[in-house]
Structure 1
Amino acid sequence: MLKSLKQFLWPIQSGEHKKFMPMMLMIAFIIFNYTILRNIKDALIVTEAGSETITFLKFWVVVPSAFIFFFVYAKLSTILSKKALFYTIVTPFLIFFALFATVLYPSRHWLHPVESAEWFASVLPAGLQGLAAIYKYWTYSLFYTLAELWGSAVLSFLFWNFANDVTKVSEAKRFYAHFYLLGNVANVLAGYLTKYFSELGKTAASNVDAWQVSLNYLMSTVVGAGVIILLTYTYLNYFVLSDPAQVRAESDGAPKKKSKPKMSMGESFKFLLHSKYLGLIAVLVMAYGVSINLVEVAWKNQMKLQFADKNDYNAFMGSMTMTTGLATVLVILFGSSIIRRFGWKRGALATPWILGITGLFFFACMIFPEFFSPLAMALGVTPLMLGVWFGFAQNVLSKSTKYALFDPTKEMAYIPLDDESKSKGKAAVDVVGARLGKSGGSLLQQIMFAVIGPITVIAPYSAAIMCGIIVVWLVAVYALNKRFTALSGEK
C-alpha cells in the first residue's frame, strides 16, 4: 500500500535523482522567471495601451522576433557547442531585464515619442490604434517581446531540447510531469513575490514612483534566478552528464537512431511542412495558442476596466499565478498517473476539453452580463468583477492542465524521433509554431477590430472561433496518437 502510494506521488527511482533533481531545479527557476515576466509585461501594456494592443504586438513584433531568434539560433548552433550556445542565449535576456529596470523604465518620459505617436494614431483607422500604441510605448513593447521569448526560447525550446537529449522514453513518463512539480512550487513563490512587491511598492512615499519600486525588486529577483539557472546548467554538464549512462535517450538498450545530416533553414521549414508527425504537433501547439489568446485578450480587457493601476493589476495577477501554481501541483500528482496508467492520448485530450468548457463559461458571462447579474448580486460583487473572476477560474484551470498534461505529452511526442527531427523540427514547432498560434488569434482579432468593433462587440465571434479550433485540436490529438504509438511502441 505504502509502496503504491509512493509510486503514485513520486515515481522517480533512487538512481535517477542525480539527474532529475538539478533538471527540476533548473526548470523551476525558468518557470519562476517566466511567471514574473509574464505578469509585468501584461501590467505594462494593458494598463497603458489596452489589451487590444497585445494582439498587434504578438503579430507584428513577437512573431518576427521569434523568426529572428530561430535563424540566429540555427546559425550559432553550427559555430558553438551546445553548452556555449545555452549561455549565449540566456545571458542577453538577463542583461536586458536588468537594464529595463535601471535605465529604460526610469527614462521612459524621454524615450517614448508621445507627440509623433499621437500624430500616427490620428491617421490610423480606429481598429488599428494598437499599432500606434506599440510605437508610443516602444520600451514596454520591447520588454513584452523579450518576456514572451523567454517562455518560447528558454523554456519551450532550450530547456526541453536539453531534456530530450538526456532523457530516456522510460524515464520521460515519470520525469516530465514531475519536472513541473517543483516548477509550479516556484510558480506559487513567483506569484507570492509578485503580489508582495506590488503591494510593497504602494507603500512608498508619495514623491516616489510606486511601480518603479516594485519593478526594482522584481527585476533583481529575475536576474538572481537567471544566475542560478546558469549555475545549475553548469553543474549538470560537469558533474552529472559526465556519466555516459546519463547522457543519451538511447542508452536504455534501444537501438540508436541514425541522425540525419544537418539541414539548411529552408530545408528545416520544408521538413516541418512535409512531416505529418511534426505537422500534427504543430497543430496542437497552434490550437492552444489561438484558443488561449482569444480568451485572454477578452479577459484582460475586463481586467483593465477593474484595475487601472499597474500595482493593483500586478498584485491581482500574482494572486492568480499563486492559485494556478497550487492547482497545477495537484493536477500534476494525478496527471502523471493519467499518462502512466491511461496512456498518452487521454493525457493529451484533457487540455482542449477543459479550455473549451471554461472558455465558453467566461464568454457567456461577458456576452450575457444581465443573465449573471443575480449571481453577482448574491456574491456581493459587480457583474464586471464576476466576469474577472470567471476569467480567473478559466485561466487557472486551463493553464494548470496545460503545464501538467499538455506540455509533458507534447514533449513526449518528440522522443521517438531522430536527433535531426527533434532539434530542427522542435525549433520550428515550439518557437515558430507557438508564435504563429498566438499570432493567429491576434490576426483574427485585429480583423474583427477593424471590421466589427471593440472587444466587447466581437466576444460572440471569438467564442465561436474558439469552439471550431477546439474541434480541430481534438482531431489532431487522435491522429497524432496513432503515429506516436507506432513509433514508440507505447500505449
Structure 2
Amino acid sequence: MFHSLSSSLARIRALIWPIYAHEHKKLVPMFVMLFLICINYTLLKNMKDALNVTASGAEVIPYIKLWVMFPSAVIATFAFTKLASHYSHEKVFYITISFFLGFYLLFIAVLYPLREHLHPYVMADYLEVTLPLGFKGIIALFRNWTFTCFYVFSELWSCMVLTVLFWGFANEVTKLEEAKRCYSFFNVASNFASIIAGIIPTACVYFVRANFTEARQDDASLTIQTVLVLICGVATMFTFRWLNVNVLNGPEFDEFHQTKLKMKKKKRLSIRESFALLSGSRYLICIAILVLGYNLGMNLLEVMWKNEMFLLYPSRSDFNSYIGKLTSINGMLAMMVTLFIPKLLDRFGWTRTALITPVVMCITGGLFFGLILYQQWLPVSLFTILGTTPLAVIVYLGAFQNTTCKAFKFCLFDTTKEMAFIPLDNDVKLKGKAAIDGVGSRLGKTGGSVAYQGLLMIFPTLTACAPYVATVFFFVICLWIYAVRALGVMFREKTGSALEPEDHDAENSQESSTLTASRDIHVDSPSPVPSSP
C-alpha cells in the first residue's frame, strides 16, 4: 500500500513539477527569465494594439506589418547575425535587451509626450483628401508614426528577445531527453506571466480612474505599464548574469563552453549564407512553413477580429482592458493544457501533438468566419433572447478563437517547434532559427498584410473582404498540416523514433538504444539527465 501511494505521489510530482533536484539551479533562473520576458511580451502586445487600433483603426495593422515590420525584421536579423559573429551569447543578450529598453524609455519620456508636435496631422489630412480610399491605412501609419515605431519594437521583442535569444539559449543548454520535461515547465512560466500581465491593464484602469482626471487616464496607464516593462527588462539581464556567473561555469557545463569556443574558431555563416542554408534544407523549410502557417493564419483572423472589437470598444483604456482580460484567460487555459504536454508527447508522439494546433485553429476559425459571413441569415430573435447583438457575439466568438489558439500555440506549437530544432548542429540551429523566427514569422504576417491591402483596394471595408480572407485562411491551414506530417517523418529519422510511439512494442524494446542515439545527436549539449530524481 505504501509503495502504491509512493508511486501515485511520484506520478503527481512528475506531472506538476517534472524537474529533478539537481536541475533547480539551472532551470529556476531560466524560469524567472522567461517569466519576466513574457510579462513584457504580453504588456507590449496589448499596448501596441490599443495605441494603434484606437488611433488609426484596424486597417492600419496590415500596412504596418508589410511596409515597416518586414524590413525591420530583416534589419534586426542582420544585426543579430553580425552580433552573434563577433560576441558571445551573453554579450549579445545584454546588447539586444538594452537596445529595446532604450527605445521604450525614449518613447515614454520624449516621443509620446511630444506626439502632438511630432505627428504630421496637417500633411496626413491633405493626403487623405487627395489619395484614393484604399490608401487610408498607409496614411494612418504615417500620421501616427511614433505609435508605429512602438508597434514595431513591441513586435520585435517577441521574435528577437523571446524567440531567438531566450529559446536559442535554452536549446543550447537543454538536451532532447530533458526537453520533453523541461519545455512544458517553461510553458508554465509563460502562461503564468500571461495571467499576471493580463490583470495589469485592468488594474491600471481602476487605479488611474481613481487618481487622475479623465483627460490624463490613458497617458497615465501607458506610462505605468511602460515603466513595468523597463523594470522587468533590467531584472531579466540581472538574472541572466547570475546564471552565467554561478551556474554555467560549473564542471558539468565544460562541454557547453568548449562548444562555444569551437564555434568561435569556425567561420560564421553570413546572413546570405544563412538564408541559403534555409532554402537548401527540406527540414528547415518545413519548420519555416509551420511558423509561416501559424503567423499567417492568426494574422488573417486577428485583423478581422480587432476591427470588430474596435467597433465594440472604441476607448483605448476599455480596448486594452478587454485584451488584458482575454490574455489572463488565455494564460489560465494554457496553464491547464501545459500539464498534459508530456503525456501528449508520450501518448501520441511529436507529429500528432504538433497537428493539434492547426486542427484547433481550423475549427475555431471556421466558426468565426462562418458567423461573419452568415450572420444576416440568423434570426434577430436569437440575439434578443441572448440579450446581445450580432457584433458582440462576433467579438466574443473571435475572443474564444484567439484565446484557444494562442493557448495551444504557447503550449503545443512552441514546444514541438523548439524540439524540432534540437537534433540540428549548433551552427545550423542558431542561424536557421534566427532566419525562421526573425524573418519567417514576419513573412507569415506580411503575407496576410499583402492579402488585406490588395482586398482593401477593391472592397471598402474589412467585413466585405471576409469571404476571400477565409479562402486564403483554409488554404494556409492545409499547407501547415502537410508540413507537420513531412517534418514528423524527418524528425523521427533524426531522433531514432524517440518521440514517435507509432509502434509501442518496438519502442519499448529499443528504449536504451533510442536514448543512446539521442545522446549521439546532442554531442554539444550538457551531460544526460539521470533516470530518477
SS of aligned partner of 2:441: helix
SS of aligned partner of 2:339: helix
CA separation in 2, counterparts of 1:106 and 1:324?
32
Task: Map 1:22-421; keep pairs closer than 5 Å.
Answer: 22-206=29-213, 208-246=215-253, 261-372=267-378, 373-421=380-428
Q: 1:166, 1:247 within 8 Å by CA — same for their partners in 2?
A: no
- Please name the residue that 1:473 is paired with: 480
Q: 1:259, 1:418 within 8 Å by CA — same for their partners in 2?
A: no
Q: CA 1:210–1:11 in 2, change beyond 3 Å: closer, same or farther? A: same
Q: 1:257, 1:418 within 8 Å by CA — same for their partners in 2?
A: no
Amino acid at match of 2:345: I
Structure (1 or 2) with the larger CA radius of gyration: 2
SS of aligned partner of 1:368: helix
Q: 1:178, 1:336 within 8 Å by CA — same for their partners in 2?
A: no
TM-score, length-scaled by structure 2: 0.88
Q: Which runs of 5+ in 2 are unaligned?
A: 1-7, 501-533
Instruction: Tell me how large the CA RMSD over aligned residues is.
Output: 1.9
Q: CA 1:461–1:258 in 2, change beyond 3 Å: closer, same or farther? A: same
SS of aligned partner of 2:311: helix
- Please name the residue that 1:439 is paired with: 446
CA separation in 1, counterparts of 2:198 and 2:415?
22
SS of aligned partner of 2:337: helix
CA separation in 2, counterparts of 1:248 and 1:133?
53
For residues 63-87 of structure 1, what are the alpha-carbon distances to aligned partners after superposition, in whole Å with 9 as ceiling and x for unaligned?
1000001111111222222211110
CA separation in 1, counterparts of 2:381 and 2:225?
40
- Shift in Å at residue 184 of structure 1? 1.1
CA separation in 2, counterparts of 1:98 and 1:282?
33
- Shift in Å at residue 294 of structure 1? 0.5
Q: 2:101, 2:233 within 8 Å by CA — same for their partners in 1?
A: yes
- Shift in Å at residue 231 of structure 1? 0.9
Amino acid at match of 1:417: L
- Shift in Å at residue 90 of structure 1? 0.3
For residues 112-155 of structure 1, what are the alpha-carbon distances to aligned partners after superposition, in whole Å with 9 as ceiling and x for unaligned?
00011122223332122111111100000000000000001101
CA separation in 2, counterparts of 1:257 and 1:11?
32
For residues 294-330 of structure 1, what are the alpha-carbon distances to aligned partners after superposition, in whole Å with 9 as ceiling and x for unaligned?
0000000001101111001001011000100000100
Q: CA 1:418–1:375 in 2, change beyond 3 Å: closer, same or farther? A: farther
TM-score, length-scaled by structure 1: 0.96
- Please name the residue that 1:462 is paired with: 469
Q: CA 1:258–1:207 in 2, change beyond 3 Å: closer, same or farther? A: closer
Q: 2:330, 2:406 within 8 Å by CA — same for their partners in 1?
A: yes
Q: 2:263, 2:427 within 8 Å by CA — same for their partners in 1?
A: no
- Please name the residue that 2:517 is paired with: none
- Shift in Å at residue 246 of structure 1? 4.3
Amino acid at match of 2:85: T
Q: 2:194, 2:331 within 8 Å by CA — same for their partners in 1?
A: yes
- Shift in Å at residue 198 of structure 1? 2.7
Tell me how many residue pairs correspond in the alignment. Answer: 487
Q: 1:376, 1:383 within 8 Å by CA — same for their partners in 2?
A: yes
- Shift in Å at residue 257 of structure 1? 11
- Please name the residue that 2:509 is paired with: none
For residues 76-103 of structure 1, what are the alpha-carbon distances to aligned partners after superposition, in whole Å with 9 as ceiling and x for unaligned?
2222222111100001211211222222
Amino acid at match of 1:344: W
- Shift in Å at residue 16 of structure 1? 1.4
Q: CA 1:199–1:461 in 2, change beyond 3 Å: closer, same or farther? A: farther
CA separation in 1, counterparts of 2:43 and 2:489?
38
CA separation in 1, counterparts of 2:254 and 2:388?
55
Q: Percent identity?
A: 41
